[in-house]
Amino acid sequence: MSDTAAPTAQANMLLIDIDGPIATLTMNRPDKRNAMCDELLNEIEAFFAKPPEDVRVVVLTGTAGHYCSGLDLSEHKARNAEGTLRHSRNWHRVMDMIQFSGLPVVSAMFGAVIGGGLELAASTHVRIAEEGTIFQLPEGMRGIFVGGGATVRIGRIMGADRMGEMMLTGRKYNAEQGLDLGLTHYSVSTGEALPLARKLAEGIAKNASLSNYMMIQAISRISDMSRADGLFTESLCAAVSQTSEDAAEGLNAFLEKRRPVFR
């Protein structure tokens, strides 16, 4: 962290630290292994609904040895069918906010990445897991079904067949297995996830904001399109980004053999 870093602001269940263009969000329910409750979800939503203007990249992590152990089941007991439906749809809305806010989000994961915690991680763009990380979807063992977007996001990452087996058996995957399956992009030693997340975030923050935005908004949507529609959308993104001021700066920097300085 730089000497000029803003002081850490502690929300009730979310710690927010802003250092230049990078915001680090730390889920802070250590007594619950950072299980997700409505209040924590609301605080995450509030950040992504109106992020600080100068923030270009977000690092999302947990505290006390865990990323997020999923939905706080003590809250689940209090909901009827309609309440559960509305709660699930709210999760979908907030996970979409994270994925499509326009800010790249890097997850630094360790310990429990379980149930809703894995759904949360799957909505982020770069995922780093330390040894000792556990990926699991145990909902079937509790007599319930996923409701935070797993069938769409996690099912597309690892495939519906593997996800079905994971839920039926309660199977746990470690960091190395998660790397093979695509649940994480990096597998690192204990204590290395957050430093690597910040290093990657610093590099991402130096990209042109428009091209970062295009990558976040377009790639996953193109995967939902027909081949022809996807190719046309790709061309539109290329046309907008390659005629921008940042593209001109990137080309000039390449020709002048220097690092580009984007807006």
Catalytic residue among 119, 165, 192, 202: 119
Nearest CA to 129 out of 76, 194, 32 is that of 194
Q: Cα–Cα distance between 238 and 233 in angstroms, integer?
A: 9
DSSP notation for 174-195: -HHHHHHHTS-SEEE-TT-HHH
Q: Cα–Cα distance between 27 and 66 in angstroms, integer?
A: 9
| 119: annotated active-site residue | yes
Catalytic residue among 139, 192, 249, 256: 139
| 43: annotated active-site residue | no
> Scanning the structure block, which residue is given the tokens 């027909």?
226
Q: Is 197 exposed, middle or buried (0-12, 13-18, 19+ CB in 10 A)?
A: buried
Q: Cα–Cα distance between 183 and 137 in angstroms, integer?
A: 12
Structure tokens at 24: 């680090």
**Alpha-carbon distance values, 66 to 53, 111, 134, 150 (Å):** 29, 4, 10, 20
Q: Is 156 exposed, middle or buried (0-12, 13-18, 19+ CB in 10 A)?
A: middle
Asked if residue 198 lies in contact with residue 25, where contact means CB atoms within 8 angstroms, the answer is no
Q: Which residues does residue 10 pair with via DSSP β-bridges, in sequence order?
A: 15
Structure tokens at 193: 């996830």
Q: What angle do CA 249, 213, 70 make, to 5 degrees?
A: 145
Kindly list the catalytic residues: 119, 139
